[in-house]
Structure 1
Amino acid sequence: MRKNIKTLLLAGIMGSVALVSCNKYLDINENPNNPEKSDPSLLLPTVEAALSQVVGNQFQTYGNMWSQYWTQNPSSSQYQTIDQYNMRGTNSDRAWLNLYRGALNNAEIIINTQGPTHAQYRATAYILKAYAFQLATDAFGDVPLSEALKAGDNLNPAYEKQQVVYDSIFHYIDKGVSELKSLNTSIANNPGEQDMLFKGDAQQWIAFANTLKLRAYLRISNVDPAKAEAGIKALYATNPSFVSKDVSIAYTTTGGNENPMYNEMVALGRVQNVVASGTIINAFKANNDPRQFALFEKIEGQDTIAWIAQGGYRGMNRKLVSPPAAVVGANANIPSSALAPVKLISKAESYFLQAEAALKGWGAGTVQALYESGVRAGFEALGLSSEATAYLTSAPDAQLGTGEEAQLKAIITQKYYSMCGFQGFEAWNEWRRTGYPTFFTVSKESIIGAGLFPIRMVYPNSEATTNVKYPGTISVSNPVWWDVK
């Protein structure tokens, strides 16, 4: 699915207000809630690229560190504040602007484009709007919603409760799927190559939307189980298709088209800022998990991975560290990092979501079969398909067990392993929702108090300085609405 992203986005950049590169941010005093008119075919790739910046760069860093896959390299200092849980509003500016001014702003322009020829673009934009708002609300909690993205000079959109945001997410997904199912393909323009995710394949967009809806309903299943149950059962009543391969944007090694995290590391002088955390490596070792050697670099001349405790970068040997492997895009010194995909939803995640729905009695299929398919998909993604059977047979954490809670623990823990390096933000979300895995340790450099973890991101400085309805500073240890477990 590799595309020349630079070529696809050039026209969109010239025709609209868009964020497509980590080095191309608009002035934060400009209005991010003012959609303009433009050609949907030019805007769609900018929406997808803005989301890839958030998932593959800003949230990738926080997610992988707070999911304890990575920790700060002792020989550098770029992300020390993340390991310290010492978050400031400026830490969130770029992700917020990519979400609102990039993805959501341009998706709204597409949605407001009238006429049957643009129906498929509108449907796609609704689904991407739902995806973007889930990213925003899962990170920050209450966010601007109904007063955001409106034409005019409304620089002060009100913040709305996360529960309301989730209701809107379901609505946007339904709108997108409904329009896709009723497409008149003889009239509607197909995005084709302008669609970096599915090349305009409407059926794949429907499967993506169904999987996103399942993810969203499971996210609220602890705080509002009745709504989650009803929503998932209604979804399954439609005989839904789900994601059956990684939904990702791939990159090249040429200027402007690299993996966004690698691109940023190059801009920072190829400094290797993250290395293996002892949390994930010790868990991999306890299960004799071969994925550790695909996801992290071995010590030179040795068949082992060096790790440091989460946040334990002070006083450590600066040479005995293992950076992430190039496959996840976070190795500053291996050019093939540029090729690493950004995964919006993975095949493994899709199976684990379905396994959990079946476990709760809300979805179809066999828990064991769906669970094993998720594990196998995680191995397959790293070229290790042949080793999955032995792992399922012998690894302690791979045994599904009996009883709903034990099986939920196995499902989420295996989802956690499969997301290492690729979907750190989503792994952090699932840990907050379920409490699994159970082996996280507080960073040695934490400043927020004994036993506390970061369980939300802080609102951006751009909101504090420009939006009079800014709700104020909220601690990273304060849970969002759906985080009740």
Structure 2
Amino acid sequence: MKKKFIYYILSAVAVITTACGDDYLDVNTNPNQAVSATPETVLTNALNVTAARLVHNEIGAFWVGQWSPSGSVSGFTPEKTYDIQTTFRTGVWTGPYNNLEDYKYVEEAAVKEGKQAIAGIARVMKAFNFQIIVDAYNNAPYSEALEGTTSIRPAYDNGSAIYDSLIRDINVAITYLSVPVSTTNPSAGSADIYFNGDNDLWIKFANTLKLRMLLRLTNVSDKQALIASEMAKLGQSNTVFLDSGENVSANPGYLKTAGKENPWYEAYGYSASDSRSGSHDFYCWSNFFVSFLSDTQDSVRIKLLTYPVGTGADKKIIGVPFGEGNDTYLYSKISGFGPAFLPTDNTVKSATLYKNDQIVMSSAESFFLQAEAVQRGLLTSNLSAQQLYEKGVAQSFYTLASLADTTALKSSWPSNVNVKKGLKKYLSSGISNVDWSASSNKVEAIITQKWIALANYGGFEAWTEYRRTGIPNVPLSTRAQGSQYPARLLYPLSEYSNNAENASAQGDINQFTSKIFWDAQ
């Protein structure tokens, strides 16, 4: 009943749009118009918007070799050719900024009411959103952003300086969240659709997010002192990160009702009436991704992530080379998203995937971040890099298995999926970038496995890590007009129209050569 009640609140105050999910359930779609609501109510909606917006990770999933458009859809020309303009994927800019308006309201209202726990949550999520903006665009409005009519043409801050501020913001958030809960400082409770008001889990999330940010800086020479000092804090014995089973995930009580299903399921799967969504047949796995799973004998995840084509001994996993789009790759001829995410047409009636949690940051990613930091000698831990790496792989396996529609799994893959046995065999396979002992480049193994674990949850994050590390060695689109992958997105046309002086001051931006400050590999 509690989860259903949250949705009644949402439907009463939310403005629902369909523009790529950027403003899904957002209560503050006009950044210059103040809202009048409790911080708890706005927090619920803001958290929901963040999770729903991350669903639309197509561009990252395309450009990091996870996804491809199927042959059943035309278009996607800018994605395939990398010939992008200022009108391309503008929701990556507007979505976080709209969301940030809500978090700003929550933090300010909570501080005014003495609700430090709620203020801490809002500040963590502000850092989360601003990092996405910097990782996509580099310099961006920060210090003058979110000021409404006070600053309608905000100046741009240097991306490097924004990162410094975000790390400080996370430290402040942890201070807020560390204040004991009391009658005057209540927890967020059910208004928190990620952790139900558990401040300890929010601190773990904050530490893990900070670790993500610090590792992004590993190739930046003038950030080494910052990395060392902040890693020293994270290496203290009382520091905790997201642990096994502690995914950051949203669930306000997803229902089999239009607009209230799990947003990933509704976008790429099925409607509340069990019919395929409008984009169901448009997206599929790239051949690069499924070939990697097959070549590395990933017998468990390949069954959870994909559906085979054909029957009996002729069953095959078929992905689409990114850039292709002819009838050879019609959706009916290739492997769609598997039972961890979608049922089949034959099992959709009984499937409950519509109410699965929507993952924002996974425990698998947490372990891979820790593994990399330990392997690089940046973080002190009571676990070795190998132990952390293997925990990351295990969490990827077990999370997918916990989400899967078992009826669809058994009907598509008659052989049993034994996660524990399959995991043990996989990690001792002797295959590079799978078996720790067989991997000469340990960091490459860590990033490669994180790339798999981020599939369908975090395409943008996977693309960002590719830009930082060059891992994995993703092939160019078959329609690429050059020899480079895009290193960033272009500022939206709206910035050149409404904030022309500040946007133009950033210089001539090129998607290949105007790199994000941390992209120094």
Question: Which residue among 434, 445, 468 is the counterpart of 2:479?
Answer: 445
The 8 Å contact of residues 448 and 471 in structure 2, kept in 1 or not, is answered as: yes
Partner of 1:308: 320
**3-state SS of 1:275 partner:** strand
1:395-434 pair list within 5 angstroms: 395-401=431-437, 406-434=441-469
Tell whether 2:101 aligns with 1:65. Answer: no
The 8 Å contact of residues 247 and 343 in structure 1, kept in 2 or not, is answered as: yes
Seen in structure 2, the aligned counterparts of structure 1 residues 408 and 68 have a Cα distance that, compared at 3 Å, is same
Counterpart CA distance in 1 for 2:81 and 2:425 is: 38
Give CA-to-partner distance per residue, 1:183-205, whole Å, 9 cap, x none: 34231122211111000011010
TM-score when normalising by structure 1: 0.89
The 8 Å contact of residues 25 and 49 in structure 2, kept in 1 or not, is answered as: no
Partner of 1:327: 340
The 8 Å contact of residues 217 and 228 in structure 1, kept in 2 or not, is answered as: yes
- Structure 1: state its 5+ residue gaps: none
The 8 Å contact of residues 272 and 331 in structure 1, kept in 2 or not, is answered as: no
1:335-346 pair list within 5 angstroms: 338-346=354-362
1:42-53 pair list within 5 angstroms: 42-53=41-52
Give CA-to-partner distance per residue, 1:217-251, whole Å, 9 cap, x none: 11111112332222111222262111122111244
Seen in structure 2, the aligned counterparts of structure 1 residues 8 and 171 have a Cα distance that, compared at 3 Å, is farther
Partner of 2:409: none
The 8 Å contact of residues 23 and 49 in structure 2, kept in 1 or not, is answered as: no
Tell whether 2:125 aligns with 1:90. Answer: no
Seen in structure 2, the aligned counterparts of structure 1 residues 145 and 87 have a Cα distance that, compared at 3 Å, is same
1:79-478 pair list within 5 angstroms: 79-101=76-98, 103-113=99-109, 114-223=111-220, 224-237=223-236, 239-244=238-243, 245-250=246-251, 251-265=254-268, 269-290=278-299, 291-301=301-311, 302-314=314-326, 316-318=328-330, 319-325=332-338, 327-328=340-341, 338-363=354-379, 364=381, 365-383=383-401, 384-394=419-429, 395-401=431-437, 406-438=441-473, 440-447=474-481, 449=482, 451-468=483-500, 469-471=502-504, 474-478=509-513
Report the aligned-residue RMSD: 2.9
Counterpart CA distance in 2 for 1:140 and 1:92 is: 12
**Offset, 1:347:** 0.9
Counterpart CA distance in 2 for 1:436 and 1:357 is: 16
**Offset, 1:160:** 1.1
**3-state SS of 1:120 partner:** helix
TM-score when normalising by structure 2: 0.83
Counterpart CA distance in 2 for 1:329 and 1:144 is: 38
Give CA-to-partner distance per residue, 1:37-81, whole Å, 9 cap, x none: 531011101211221132112xx1112111111111111125343
**3-state SS of 2:360 partner:** strand
Seen in structure 2, the aligned counterparts of structure 1 residues 8 and 360 have a Cα distance that, compared at 3 Å, is farther
Seen in structure 2, the aligned counterparts of structure 1 residues 131 and 43 have a Cα distance that, compared at 3 Å, is same
**3-state SS of 1:427 partner:** helix
Partner of 2:407: none
**Offset, 1:470:** 1.8
Seen in structure 2, the aligned counterparts of structure 1 residues 26 and 116 have a Cα distance that, compared at 3 Å, is closer
Size of the aligned set, in residue pairs, is 473
**Offset, 1:8:** 4.3
- Structure 2: state its 5+ residue gaps: 272-276, 402-418
The 8 Å contact of residues 264 and 358 in structure 2, kept in 1 or not, is answered as: no
Counterpart CA distance in 1 for 2:166 and 2:499 is: 23
